[in-house]
Amino acid sequence: MLKICQVTDVGGIDDKTFNATAWKGVTDAEEAFGVEGKFLESQQQTDYAVNINAFVEEGCELIVTVGFLLGADTAIAAEANPDQKFAIIDFAYFDEEGNKVTYDNVVELTFATDQAAFLAGYAAAGTTQTGTVGTFGGIPIPPVTVFMDGFWAGVQYYNEQNGTDVQVLGWDPATQEGLFTGNFESTDDGRALGESLMDEGADIILPVAGPVGLGTAAAVQERGNAYIIGVDTDMSVSAPEFADVILTSVLKNMDVAVFLTTKSVLDGSYEGGIFVGTLDNDGVGLAPFKDLEDLVPDAVKDALADLIAGIIAGDIQTSP
């Protein structure tokens, strides 16, 4: 039986967001193709290389490494083991001059999450009652800040189209500086930043920090009159206990990308290079408003369909 093996980022397989979404791609492949899925959880960054090499030695058919921070260790392992197939989520390889580097045995699964976050920003700007929304990240790395860029841009687009002045707390795209917890694990940090943003008037918050966002959701739920936007997966499904305060989620469909990569290994079409998930290919998206459907004005919901078409056509810029 072929083994499809995943090395998680710090946070673990049950983080209800980033690692869990990628792992769903493996479990879906187990059901569809009868492969065996295995994972090793990274407790700290020094575990990355150890876990990758353990799976190389085990003879996994495909090793999926989850997260930008695993980029360097994945490349080292790929160069040392040219016959081993890899996929890495949220990392694309370039040389020091910015030229694209491609490994024959690494599929780079990247996502234009600014497109979906733009939609979330537009919806937040059209729904806020205080005229202030907020965001924060875990660690300031591109797969995190791309959400914040898109969210900010969506709010600005709403302002331009509607003559409003909704403010975004927690992120300045011009300086690429903002609020960060410095980790993806501490729900206490998520609670503290959520409370701080609400104290400043934000009634809709986008935490881009994995499980940290669960702390924000708890703070919002306890205080009331505020909402959050999930990331990576539909948070109302992964954390249903907070469904009453989840406006929507910015979807990064890593499960689909991992599933399709596994399928390519099995059917012989696997080829190293970059994959970019977009609105056009359903690699990213916006979750339904569900329980909070009535909270979002009809004009905003109607506009989202046109925005999606405009983004796909290239007529709307989704990052600053």
Residues 58, 126, single domain; the answer is no
Question: Is it the case that residue 320 has pLDDT exceeding 90?
Answer: no
Residues 107 and 119 in one domain: no
> Which amino acid does the sequence have at 13?
I
Residue 67 belongs to domain spanning = 3-111+254-277
Using the predicted structure, report yes or no on whether residue 11 has a pLDDT greater than 90: no
Q: What is the mean pLDDT of the chain?
A: 96
Q: What digits encode the pLDDT tens for the residues 272-299?
A: 999 999 999 999 999 999 999 999 999 9
Q: Would you say residue 12 has pLDDT above 90?
A: no
> Are both 154 and 303 inside the same structural domain?
yes
Span 306-316, pLDDT tens digits: 999 999 999 99
Q: Has residue 305 been placed in a domain?
A: yes
pLDDT at 85 over 90: yes
Distance CA 39, CA 43 (A): 13
pLDDT of residue 290: 94
Within 10 angstroms of residue 55's Cβ, the number of other Cβ atoms is: 23
Q: In this structure, is residue 283 part of a structural domain?
A: no
Average pLDDT over residues 186-215: 97
Q: Which of helix, strand or coil describes residue 86? A: strand
In a domain, 319, yes or no: no
Q: What percent of the chain has pLDDT over 70?
A: 100
Pair 92, 133 in one domain = no
Residues 235, 266 share a domain: no
Sheet holding 273-277, edge to edge: 36-40, 3-7, 62-66, 85-89, 106-111, 273-277
Mean pLDDT of 185-201: 97
pLDDT of residue 243: 97
How many folded domains does the chain comprise?
Answer: 2
Residues of the chain above pLDDT 90, percent? 96
Q: Does 84 map to a domain?
A: yes
Q: Which residues contact 281 (CB under 8 A, 6 or more apart)?
A: none
Position 6 confidence tier, pLDDT thresholds 50, 70, 90: very high
In the numeric block, the tokens 């919002």 are attached to: 220
- Do both 295 and 155 map to the same domain? yes
Q: pLDDT tens digits for 98-155?
A: 999 999 999 999 999 999 999 999 999 999 999 999 999 999 999 999 999 999 999 9
- Give the pLDDT mean for 190-197: 98
Q: Under a CB-based contact definition with an 8 Å cutoff, are residues 35 and 95 in contact?
A: no
Report whether 193 contacts 179 (CB < 8 A): yes
Contact predicate 268/35, CB 8 Å: no
> CATH number for the domain including 179?
3.40.50.2300
